């Protein structure tokens, strides 16, 4: 499951282990396409990583903090530290590979 959160909630979530952040916006076409793909991937990685969706329009501070200049952007955190980032739409297999290589 991909959980939609805002920047205040982000401060309070448990960041131990692997977290996958999806930075998006409602009017961004590729973001909309990526959302269902990420949802499927999140099911495959249930229990191994936590998935969050962040609207960059509503949460500009968080987007700035992670240096997001283009969306969709998928950021992988390990124990709260940014370890990898992928920008743009990616097909499911490639997205799965991207997440699993960061586990």
Partner 1 sequence: MERFDIAIIGTGPAGLEAAITAKVRNKTVLLLGNKGSSDKVSKAHTIQNYLGLPNVSGEDMSKAFLAHATSMGIEITEDKVNAVYSMGKYFAIQCHSGDYEASSVIVAAGMTTMKPFPGEMEFLGRGVSYCATCDAALYKGKTAIIIAYSAADEEEAEFLAERAQKVYYLPQYEYAGNLGGNIEVTCDVKPDSIAYTEGRAYLATDKDTYTADGIFILREQIAPSQLVPGLQMDGNHIGVDRSMATNIKGLFACGDITGAPYQYIKAAGEGNVAALSAVSYLNELKKATE
Enumerate binding residues for partner 1 (CB under 8 A): 25, 27-31, 33, 36-37, 40, 56-57, 60, 63, 67-71, 73, 87-94
Which is closer to partner 1, CB of 7 or CB of 15? 7
- Annotation marks residue 31 as catalytic: yes
CA dihedral sign of residues 18, 47, 103, 71: negative
Whole-Å CA distances, 75 to 12, 20, 70: 18, 6, 12
- Annotation marks residue 75 as catalytic: no
Which is closer to partner 1, CB of 80 or CB of 91? 91
């Amino acid at each position: 499951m991909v959980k939609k959160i805002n920047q205040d909630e982000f401060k309070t979530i448990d960041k131990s282990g692997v977290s996958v952040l999806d930075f998006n916006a409602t009017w961004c076409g590729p973001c909309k396409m990526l959302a269902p793909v990420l949802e499927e991937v999140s099911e495959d990685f249930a229990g191994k990583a936590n998935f969050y969706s962040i609207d960059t329009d509503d949460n500009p501070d968080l987007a700035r903090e992670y240096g997001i200049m283009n969306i969709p952007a998928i950021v992988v955190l390990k124990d709260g530290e940014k370890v990898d980032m992928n920008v743009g739409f990616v097909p499911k297999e490639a997205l799965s590979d991207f997440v699993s290589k960061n586990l």
